[in-house]
Amino acid sequence: MTQQHADVVIIGGSHGGSEAAFRLRQGGFAGSISLLSSEPYLPYHRPPLSKAFLAGEVTVESLLLRGQLSYDKANITWRPSTTVTSIDRVDHLLALADGNHLTYGKLILATGGRPRVLPLPGAELGGLHVMRSIADVDRLRSDFVAGKRLVIVGAGYIGLEVAAVAIKTGLDVEIVEFAPRALARVAGPELSAFYEGVHGKAGVKFRFNTGVEGFVPASHDGTRVGAVRCSGGVELPADLVLVAAGLVPNIELAQAAGLAMGNGIVVDEFCKTSDPDILAIGDCVEFPLPHVGGRRLRLESVPNALEHARVAASVINGAPTPYNAVPWFWSDQYNYKLQSVGLSQGYEDAVQRPGRTPESFIVFYMKEGRVLAADCVNAVAEFNTAKKLVAEKLVVDAAALADPAVDLKTLVPPKAAA
């Protein structure tokens, strides 16, 4: 058993963890940095997993955020396949699964999340998949064969993105969703209807307002799934199943260490936890979002994790700058790029604006005349202006927003446009 030390230890080798390490160096931090990950790979882009990587269009190497040489040059110690089992806050001591220990000066938790599993009858059967890591995609690919019947549980971004790749690959795809429409948790009815139409035209079948009660073994092989049992007793034949039912934040390590908890690890606007020597960032944290009046939320997005990393590094580097970003997200399905900014919850009116082409449009979500959020489909040129409209919480004439003859840029005051 050995014991080592790092001035900053970062637990979690994904977007947020890697960004925090390099931001520390960019800000002048000269101490030792150790970046730990339970995965064997260098930090990599996760969004392509359910899209280009699943389709076999990109390699593992192309997913990497940076190569090993970048970590070496920045003097960042990369520790793959390393799992932390406990945090001793008094002695600043991390116990590792291999029996070794690592002490820290400051600790950044970037533990992310894991796919939600459904504790239902038959959940142990082969052919059931989730989507979060390279290993998950490798397992799914072995079943991803043209002609097979894929049932996807969940019509969120991951479910729809995998459906698009599956249809192109030649699988028969059916999506089961408990909510009454696709993307119900993150988008308005207009966007849901559009994507339901796109997927339906491609051959995807939907079952909304439908729960899942269990998974049925195949008659020819009792160890593999053969059907999905839905509410009402309906059984959907399946050669493989993707459970895309959301993300569970990895908070157990922090919780066991006694850190304050909410819907995630509780942090302030500087990503500080209830322990002055521990910060937390990314999908695993609940934080105050200035854009919605300081309401505490947990957001699952790469831009959010990167912004948290910037904030945490600024704190450790002695020049703390609070979180003040406007959340945004994206998704690629078929030939459609969706870019969303802001949070549409609580909107009063939805204003749809035709795009530059028949396959592009924008939906603005309004409340009291202000732009709360926007969903841009194949409207990359307009997205930056939409971000400004949302960020400045501008009162905008709805008729002007809806009129494609009105240049969106003219709706942004010069000061906000700067």
365 has a pLDDT exceeding 80: yes
Task: Measure the CA–CA gap between 16 and 19, rounded to whole angstroms.
Answer: 5
8 Å CB contact between 37 and 55: no
C-alpha closest to that of 326 among 408, 390, 395: 390
How confident is residue 359, by pLDDT bands cut at 50, 70 and 90?
confident
If 0-12 CB within 10 Å is exposed, 13-18 middle and 19+ buried, where does residue 278 land?
Answer: buried
Per-residue confidence (pLDDT) for residue 148, from 0 to 100: 97
418 has a pLDDT exceeding 60: no
- Neighbouring C-beta atoms of residue 111, cutoff 10 Å: 27
Task: Measure the CA–CA gap between 132 and 148, rounded to whole angstroms.
Answer: 22
At the top level of CATH, the class of 117-245 is alpha beta
Do the domains spanning 117-245 and 335-417 agree at the CATH topology level? no
Domain boundaries, the chain: 3-114+248-316, 117-245, 335-417
What does the DSSP assignment read for 154-195? --SHHHHHHHHHHHHHT-EEEEE-SSSSTTTTTS-HHHHHHH
Most confident range, picked from 15-24, 320-329, 344-353, 384-393 = 15-24
Give the tokens for residue 272: 């500080």
- What's the pTM value of the predicted model, to 2 decimals? 0.94
pLDDT tens-digit series, residues 236-273 = 999 999 999 999 999 999 999 999 999 999 999 999 99
At the top level of CATH, the class of 335-417 is alpha beta
Distance of CA 297 to the CA centre of its chain: 14
The domain made up of 3-114+248-316 is a member of CATH 2.60.40.10: no
Task: Measure the CA–CA gap between 134 and 56, rounded to whole angstroms.
Answer: 12
Tell me which of 67 and 292 has the higher pLDDT.
67
Question: Residue 407 corresponds to which amino acid?
Answer: D
